[in-house]
A = this chain, B = another copy of it.
Amino acid sequence: MKKILIAAVALCVTLSAQAQWQTLFNGKNLKGWKKIGNAEFRVENGAIEGISRYGTPNSFLRTEKEYGDFILEMLFKMDERINSGVQFRSHVIDGRVRGYQYEMDPSARAWTGGIYDEGRLGWLYPLTVNPAAKDAFVHGDWNKLRIEAIGGRLRTWINGVPAADVLDDRDASGFIALQVHEIYYEGLEDSKVYWKDIRIMTENLEYEAYPENGIAQNNCVPNTISEREAEEGWKLLWDGRTTDGWRSHKSPEFPSKGWHISDGMLVVEKADGAESGNGGDIITKEKYGNFILSVEFKITEGANSGIKYFVNPDINSAAGGSAIGCEFQVLDDEKHPDAKLGVKGNRTLGSLYDLIPAPADKPFRKGFFNKATVIVNGDHVEHWLNDVKIVEYDRNSAQWDALVAYSKYKNWVNFGNFEKGHILIQDHGDEVYYKNIKIKELD
């Protein structure tokens, strides 16, 4: 046994000798780095110090070189007043740094280690997906960052705790950059961030990569099912390219106008804002009972749309308007008047339309794609927005029926109590983008 152990240790030593870390910061000056923006970066006590300046936009200290596949480690320490981050595989496009960012977030939100897509898609991996990592950040002291960017997979750690796991195929390489965040409020100027012991490895990565750790993986490759999603039973409800599997709620065909498919997005076209007045709603050809439905949507200013389930297109085929079903409301709460109507906010984004309001502090990301999730498990239903539960209810009960009896749906017999129904995307005559429409059927 002892011999085997010694042999194993010897092997490790041999292999780890191949772990060729390159130092990215020499501890003395900023050789190999260059500044983007007006914040101050300097070397103090063997660390890079970034200092925020009032009225200065996001500033970065970037590597002169670009890096593709790599494992990156460094230590960082930061002022509690601002957030910051480390860009990787990033570029300057249209005068702005864009690309993946390892988030450094000392706020109560505590998303350090999450991945943000700076200047583009926004959050790829907020720590709502992995709340266990939120405790790993150490306030007021040095923290260890680790990023593995290998092929289309991006993984992060904070102080050894796995934080993010993202699949994305957009940027194969780019620079690494240390961020000093823009400061909007007086009193935040001269906030400081420190980085040191910055090292990178670019060879033998598969061997050096940390083992699988079981945290949730976020597949950001549009309209695909990852290996893990396939194992878990997820399927695409929309293929990202064609109208296969979808039809008008009024006919077996897909609407001939009002909708188009572009750049992996299913787009409701702008008309006059009328409910199902242009191309009309579209529904899945199949019906679904117990499921997890995941849909990403991006609204335009003042837009109205919605995701419905338990839809029976026959029950109001004669009437105009949208087909009847339970609705995850999609709305610009700020600009669309319907947000103020209904009762106590039950027509706002994420609400079970006209029935149960989503909370006002829901994690909506203005200007970005947002993820709507609907979980139907028998009579228990939940709405999630960006991985946070915002609405839940139990149907097929007198309490449910009493609520429905007060709502717009009072005249629809058995509303919300069906065993199965179509899934619908609403045309409300406003431009709204949909993608990554996936479903996992439950037993």
Indicate which residue in B394, B405, B407, B410 contacts A399 across the interface (CB closer than 8 Å): B394
Do B399 and A344 touch (CB < 8 A)? Answer: no
**Contacts A343-B410, A344-B410, A410-B343; A392 near B399 (Cβ below 8 A):** yes
Kindly list chain B residues whose C-beta atoms are within 8 Å of the C-beta of A403: 399, 402-403, 406
Do B356 and A399 touch (CB < 8 A)? Answer: yes
Chain B residue nearest to A406 in the complex (CB): B406
Do A399 and B406 touch (CB < 8 A)? Answer: no
A325 at the interface (CB under 8 A from B): no
- Expressed in whole angstroms, the Cα–Cα distance for A410 and B343 within the complex equals 9
A161 at the interface (CB under 8 A from B): no
Contact with B along A397-441 (1 / 0, CB 8 A): 111111101110010000000000000000000000000000000
- Expressed in whole angstroms, the Cα–Cα distance for A401 and B345 within the complex equals 12
- Expressed in whole angstroms, the Cα–Cα distance for A355 and B392 within the complex equals 19
Indicate which residue in B356, B397, B405 contacts A398 across the interface (CB closer than 8 Å): B356
- Expressed in whole angstroms, the Cα–Cα distance for A391 and B407 within the complex equals 20
Chain B residue nearest to A356 in the complex (CB): B402
Kindly list chain B residues whose C-beta atoms are within 8 Å of the C-beta of A294: none
- Expressed in whole angstroms, the Cα–Cα distance for A406 and B401 within the complex equals 13
Do A399 and B400 touch (CB < 8 A)? Answer: yes
Do B402 and A399 touch (CB < 8 A)? Answer: no
**Contacts A343-B410, A410-B343, A410-B344; A398 near B402 (Cβ below 8 A):** no
- Chain B CB within 10 Å — which of A352, A357, A394, A402 has the most? A402
A393 at the interface (CB under 8 A from B): yes
Task: Name the interface residues of A331-370: CB closer than 8 Å to any CB of B.
Answer: 343-344, 346, 352, 355-357
**Contacts A344-B410, A410-B343, A410-B344; A392 near B402 (Cβ below 8 A):** no
Measured between C-beta atoms, what is the minimum distance from A376 to chain B in Å? 15
Chain B residue nearest to A391 in the complex (CB): B398
Task: Count the copies.
Answer: 2
Chain B residue nearest to A343 in the complex (CB): B405
Measured between C-beta atoms, what is the minimum distance from A204 to chain B in Å? 52
- Expressed in whole angstroms, the Cα–Cα distance for A393 and B397 within the complex equals 9
Kindly list chain B residues whose C-beta atoms are within 8 Å of the C-beta of A357: 398, 402, 405
Contact with B along A34-58 (1 / 0, CB 8 A): 0000000000000000000000000
Measured between C-beta atoms, what is the minimum distance from A61 to chain B in Å? 46
Kindly list chain B residues whose C-beta atoms are within 8 Å of the C-beta of A406: 343, 403, 406-407
- Expressed in whole angstroms, the Cα–Cα distance for A343 and B391 within the complex equals 24
- Expressed in whole angstroms, the Cα–Cα distance for A400 and B399 within the complex equals 8
Do A346 and B405 touch (CB < 8 A)? Answer: yes
Measured between C-beta atoms, what is the minimum distance from A416 to chain B in Å? 12
Task: Name the interface residues of A267-285: CB closer than 8 Å to any CB of B.
Answer: none
Measured between C-beta atoms, what is the minimum distance from A145 to chain B in Å? 38
Measured between C-beta atoms, what is the minimum distance from A227 to chain B in Å? 36
- Expressed in whole angstroms, the Cα–Cα distance for A397 and B399 within the complex equals 12
- Expressed in whole angstroms, the Cα–Cα distance for A356 and B355 within the complex equals 15
Do B405 and A344 touch (CB < 8 A)? Answer: yes
- Expressed in whole angstroms, the Cα–Cα distance for A401 and B391 within the complex equals 12
- Expressed in whole angstroms, the Cα–Cα distance for A398 and B391 within the complex equals 7
Kindly list chain B residues whose C-beta atoms are within 8 Å of the C-beta of A343: 402, 405-406, 410
Do A346 and B392 touch (CB < 8 A)? Answer: no
Kindly list chain B residues whose C-beta atoms are within 8 Å of the C-beta of A405: 343-344, 346, 357
Indicate which residue in B355, B397, B401 contacts A402 across the interface (CB closer than 8 Å): B355
Kindly list chain B residues whose C-beta atoms are within 8 Å of the C-beta of A401: 344
Chain B residue nearest to A401 in the complex (CB): B344
A-B contact sample (15 more), CB < 8 A, given A343-B410, A399-B400? A343-B406, A344-B401, A344-B410, A346-B402, A355-B402, A356-B399, A392-B397, A392-B398, A392-B399, A393-B399, A394-B394, A394-B399, A403-B403, A403-B406, A406-B406
Give 24 CB contacts A-B under 8 Å. A343-B402, A343-B405, A343-B406, A343-B410, A344-B405, A344-B410, A346-B405, A352-B402, A355-B402, A356-B399, A356-B402, A357-B398, A357-B402, A357-B405, A392-B397, A392-B398, A392-B399, A393-B398, A394-B394, A399-B399, A399-B403, A402-B403, A403-B406, A406-B407
